[in-house]
Chain A
Amino acid sequence: MNQPLLRLEDVHVHFPIAQGLLKPPRHLRAVNGVSLAVEPGTTLGIVGESGCGKSTLARAILGIHPPTHGKIWLGDQELTSMAPKPLRAMRKRMQIVFQDPLASLNPRMTIGEAIMEPLRVFFPEMSALQRKRKAQTMMERVGLLPNQINRYPHEFSGGQCQRVGIARALVVEPELLLCDEPVSALDVSIQAQIVNLLMELKQDMGLTMLFIAHDLSVVRHISDRVMVMYLGKVAEQAERDALYQAPAHPYTQALIQSVPVPDPVIERGKSRAPLSGDLPSPLNPPSGCTFRTRCPKAQSACATDVPELREHHGGQGAVACHFA
């Protein structure tokens, strides 16, 4: 096994929720003990419902919301104990593509200025002309016309804005690209274009990717390994095919069953056990196994014992369920 490019060890991100002057603040456990490793050149897909901590995890890795507990390594550098200055330099090695393409671009800046901004930060010695050339090369690579460099984000469509976002992330040639639901806000036809563009760029630039989504079919298309999160914890992780063919965790099973099949005969004949209820509040998670309130297999033991993440899928993955 290669040395992983990105490694997380028991990462927690908790947000204090003030309740008034005198009461002590409660903590919202957005990410609650996540460990993972991504090998260079591979893609890890992270899936889960809204509010399960996927995006917070990405922001923790980038240091936008530093983890309250746990360690993060990029290569052999440990990020959480780093001083702000060297940490800022580390950001050259990892970049992010956001969910909402238009909101992630400053409406008062031309897209050229947006793409050149990271260059200005990380390569202050570059001349303005060099920066412009580099930005235009990158624009071409992501499928934008280079002469559009002086246009503003509101003059582009959502898909084009997402291409700008990708160009901005990749212009400094990072090793790790975090994609925070990069296609959820786009039309299906555009989704395919963007996903294929990302896969192409990953090949060309030797990127390692962390791909966050709630769409299982997109994740299946792009990932090498998949991790399923529920309420800030890892429910299951495995090689892509192992996970889709033999899901071990009841939550993964429910998710995969809920993906519609583009064939009405199969779709109608599918037996389904849809998930009932909503995601419990992370402010007040259920005791024991957090999934027990919605789990078809739940028994009394689930309310008291927290299931540990155990090896599964022939040692290639792990699952956190008493019955898997």
Chain B
Amino acid sequence: MTEASSTLMASAELAEDVRGRSLWFDAWRRLRRNKAALTAGVLLLVMTLLVLIGPALSPYTFDFTDWDHVSEPPSLETQHYFGTDAVGRDLFVRTLHGGRISLLIGVVATLVSLIIGIAYGATAGYLGGRIDNLMMRIVDILYAMPFMFFVILLMVFFGRNILLIFVAIGAINWLDMARIVRGQTISLKQREFVEAAVACGVSTPRIIFRHIVPNLLGVVIVYVTLTIPQVILVESFLSFLGLGVQEPFTSWGALVNEGAQEMESALWMLVFPASFLALTLFCFNFIGDGLRDALDPKDR
């Protein structure tokens, strides 16, 4: 230590602790510079707010039948901003209401798969050996189950229920998550800082949750933003097949299905829910791309 630095140290002693710049903060700064991702994020925020408070702005409710205006095109006069469907329900309210359900399914099912997937994958990857083998073979077996068959069985046994959709989608999606997390864990496990933690006597659960999980969150977050639109699509697909949410509740998928049937006579019934759905999917994908670039700048 030279003299200069020891006086520096003395003055630093009085100074406040310097705030560090975490990797998360760096990533946030990079993300803010990405215009496409930022625009997508703002749009998505607007979409969420609209979906939450929008229905209150209309005089109609999602299940109210307006017999005076059946299958009418959009008009400001009647306050059916997006028109009405074949049984006279207001499409504006129904589109936003369906958005609530679509987004809810997307977010909740992804969160469920995220939590199960991280816990399962990190445990298998970190413990390794026979336990890893056993746990991943269980995943393989679950993968082999035909998804559609599984959903139809659930619907037949328990009736159509929004909870069942969460279960069905979550049960399939966590498998991917578990595999990704396991792979990441295995590569992280060999890093020296994990070895250092073992040498310090840190307990295994703490190593998994303090050392492994924060380091794989970057990859996981990117995967999540790409999973949410996928889940929304799966739900739309199920609704399209008539296996999704139950009337009078609706979702974007169900609305697109109804709209497609009336496409030739009432195009607005297809255009509004379909464009909301497409816009949301776009936003999620752009955010996912932006996050990937922001979280792993070396990978560009």
**Chain A interface (Cβ < 8 Å from any Cβ of B):** 59, 62, 64, 88-89, 91-92, 95-96, 98-100, 103-110, 117-118, 121-122, 140, 143, 145-152, 154-155, 165, 168
Contact = CB atoms under 8 A, between A and B. Distances in A.
Contacts of B22: 108, 110, 152
Contacts of B214: 106, 108-109
B201 A121 contact: yes
B201 A107 contact: no
A150 B196 contact: no
Contact of B215 (A64, A106, A151, A165): A106
A64 B189 CA distance: 12
Given A98-B192, A118-B200, A150 B17 contact: yes
A91 B199 CA distance: 7
B12 A147 contact: yes
B23 interface: yes
B195 A64 contact: yes
Given A109-B210, A110-B20, A146-B12, 14 more contacts: A59-B195, A64-B195, A88-B201, A91-B200, A95-B199, A96-B199, A99-B192, A104-B193, A118-B201, A147-B15, A148-B18, A151-B19, A152-B20, A168-B196
A108 B215 contact: yes
25 contacts: A59-B195, A64-B195, A64-B198, A64-B199, A91-B199, A96-B196, A99-B192, A103-B191, A103-B192, A103-B193, A104-B195, A106-B210, A117-B200, A121-B202, A121-B203, A122-B201, A147-B12, A147-B13, A147-B15, A147-B17, A147-B18, A148-B17, A155-B20, A155-B21, A168-B196
Nearest to A110: B20
A89 B17 CA distance: 32
Nearest to A140: B9
A19 B15 CA distance: 60
Contacts of A146: 9, 12-13
B8 interface: yes
Contacts of A88: 201
B197 interface: yes
A106 B20 contact: no
Contacts of B192: 98-100, 103-104
